Structure 1
Amino acid sequence: MPLTFTLDPAVTPALRDGVLDLWTDVSNAGGAVGFVAPVSREEIRPDLVRHLAAMAEGRHRLLVGHDEAGAVAATAFFSFNTHRLQRHWVWLYTVMVHPRHQGQGYGRDLMTAAEDAARSFDGIEAIRLGCRGGLGLERFYGSCGYKEVGRVPGAIRCGADDDRDDITMLLPLT
């Protein structure tokens, strides 16, 4: 059953808790979304609050995918640039699909929905995202049309003796 995607859903307690649960579950399953397992909901909550505040200020937008039971199953946050010379592209952050839904094509569906959403934003010509090396994410994003445009070796420290590359990917929309 496909996910149902919504751009800029109403931020209700259920949505907030669903995103927080998703972020926690993805992180604890080894997902590269800003944390290293093990992590608790309370450790993630401040990052979510910052995303929600940026949404309220119009600096971020949220794309959420719900599964057939209505649970939050996938997310991606768009972050708009404030610098006058970079307003023609957006960052895509916190791209997640719940571990129970992985392997069903939902990641690709999420990336297609994100591309479609970005195409609807006035003046946006490209999407950039960063990903953690060592997990094959750049191959996945590459299969979705993104090109690697930058790499900083060892820029992400996941633990003692576990430094990963910080990879920047770009999807032109024009």
Structure 2
Amino acid sequence: MALTFEVDPAFDRALRDGITALWVDVSNAGGAVGFVPPVTDEEVRPELVKHLAGMAEGRTHLVVGRDEDGTVAATAFLTHNTHRLMRHWIGAYTVMVHPRHQGKGFGRALMMATADAAQEIEGIDAIRLTCRGGTGADRFYASCGYKEVGRIPNAIRVAEDDYRDDIIMLLPLFR
């Protein structure tokens, strides 16, 4: 079984609901995608709307992976940098694979599909992403070719007494 990836699919209610459900499930399983569990659809939807606004404006691209049932099982959003001196790299956000698919190589497949999508965008030389320290995500991204290029200690507070580093990683794209 493998995921089928699509870049910038037509956005409809089913896709919206699929991404929302994925985001909730990943968050509630402890995934570091902007929330601390427990989280609900109502909390996630406003964040998804921000990504959708970027898509409508042409500054954000969606990479979506569907499982054999057509269910949204993975996503990554690629957002163009708007600073005139930094338009040569793109940011990856809300990178997630459904918990039931973890350990199947789908995360690596998502990162490959994301890199492929970024390489198709004219003028993009690299992908930048950040991840929450203490989760092991930095080791995963390093295994996908990303290099740690910065770290902000204690930048993320997930609880009153639990601070995590914000780790900045970069993947140069070779054309």
TM-score range, shorter chain: over 0.9
**What secondary structure sits across from 2:152 in the alignment?**
strand
What is the distance in 2 between the residues matched to 1:128 and 1:72?
A: 24
The residue type equivalent to 1:46 in the other structure is: P
The residue aligned with 2:25 is 25
**What secondary structure sits across from 1:73 in the alignment?**
strand
- TM-score, normalised to structure 2, is 0.99
Gaps of 5+ in 1: none
Give, in angstroms, the shift of residue 99 of structure 1.
0.3
Q: 1:94-128 deviations in whole A, cap 9, x for unaligned?
A: 00000000010000000000011111110000000
Q: Is 1:10–2:10 an aligned residue pair?
A: yes
The residue aligned with 1:76 is 76
Q: 1:21-74 deviations in whole A, cap 9, x for unaligned?
A: 000000000000000000111001100011101100011110000000000000
The residue type equivalent to 1:65 in the other structure is: G
What is the distance in 2 between the residues matched to 1:54 and 1:119?
A: 19
1:1-174 equivalence runs, <5 A: 1-174=1-174
Give, in angstroms, the shift of residue 82 of structure 1.
1.0
RMSD of Structure 2 on Structure 1 (CA): 0.5
The residue type equivalent to 1:97 in the other structure is: V
Gaps of 5+ in 2: none
The residue type equivalent to 2:103 in the other structure is: G
Q: How many pairs are equivalent? A: 174
Which segments of structure 1 move beyond 3 Å, counting only runs of 4 or more? Answer: none
The residue type equivalent to 2:5 in the other structure is: F
The residue type equivalent to 1:31 in the other structure is: G
What is the distance in 2 between the residues matched to 1:96 and 1:110?
A: 9
